[in-house]
């Protein structure tokens, strides 16, 4: 089993935090996104999306997406449970995770990808940046930030 990782990138970090909370060690292969390691043919043969984190299981199954990898870890090492143990908690955690990803993370990623020159042709290989039209991603990120400050804690 191998986890394709990148120390400087936020999505791989989410999985590293999840693994640390679980106390689970997985062999890691460090790729340097800044140098384009993730866009080289060797890695694109593993994950054609060219995105990290990517986990390759012992049976050859390739999992990408932080939440999918975390789900696999949660089911494989159930303790301590991090994704809820009953219907209410599982649904609550899933809903908060989607708020964070869709409202927060994606809007910030759109701003970054469409405005930072280093990320012109990144995100998905071959898909170039589209200069942001209007301020919608900025407004979405600000809305998420203000809503998060007042969200009910559990
Ligand atoms: N939705 C994906 C996002 C993965 C993603 O965008 N990863 C970034 C690092 S934070 C990446 O691999 N970028 C490669 C690039 O920009 O070339 C997930 O949750 O894992």
Atom of ligand 1 nearest to the CA of 123: 16
> What is the Å distance from ligand 1's center to 101 Cα?
12
Residues near ligand 1 (Cβ within 6 A)? 9-11, 33, 38, 50-53, 64-66, 119, 122-123
Which residues, given as ranges, of the chain have pLDDT below 50? 154
> What is the Å distance from ligand 1's center to 53 Cα?
7
The model's pTM is 0.86
Angle at 6 between CA 53 and CA 56, to 5 degrees: 35
> Quick one: 101 and 69 in the same domain?
no
* pLDDT at residue number 85: 97
* pLDDT at residue number 133: 61
> Quick one: 108 and 139 in the same domain?
yes
* pLDDT at residue number 127: 65
* pLDDT at residue number 153: 55
Domain range for residue 37?
2-76
Domain presence at residue 58: yes
> What is the Å distance from ligand 1's center to 52 Cα?
5
Domain presence at residue 154: no
Domain presence at residue 82: no
Report H helices in 8-116. 10-22, 41-46, 66-76, 87-98, 106-115
- Model confidence over 24-46: pLDDT tens digits? 999 999 999 999 999 999 999 99
Number of domains in the chain: 2
> Quick one: 54 and 105 in the same domain?
no
User: What span, in angstroms and rounded, lies between the C-alpha atoms of 49 and 39?
Assistant: 9
């Amino acid at each position: 089993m191998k986890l394709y990782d990148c120390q400087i990138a936020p999505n791989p970090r989410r999985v590293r935090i999840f693994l640390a909370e679980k106390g689970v060690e997985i062999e890691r292969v460090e790729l340097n996104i800044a140098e384009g390691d993730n866009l080289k043919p060797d890695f694109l043969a593993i994950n054609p999306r060219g995105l990290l984190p990517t986990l390759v299981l012992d049976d050859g199954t390739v999992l990408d997406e932080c939440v999918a990898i975390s789900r696999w870890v949660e089911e494989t090492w159930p303790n301590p449970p991090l994704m809820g143990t009953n219907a209410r908690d599982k649904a609550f955690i899933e809903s908060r995770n989607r708020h964070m990803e869709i409202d927060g993370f994606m809007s910030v990623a759109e701003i970054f990808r469409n405005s930072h020159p280093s990320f012109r042709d990144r995100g998905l290989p071959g898909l170039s940046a589209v200069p942001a039209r209007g301020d919608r991603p900025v407004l979405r990120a600000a809305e998420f930030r203000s809503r998060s400050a007042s969200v009910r804690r559990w």
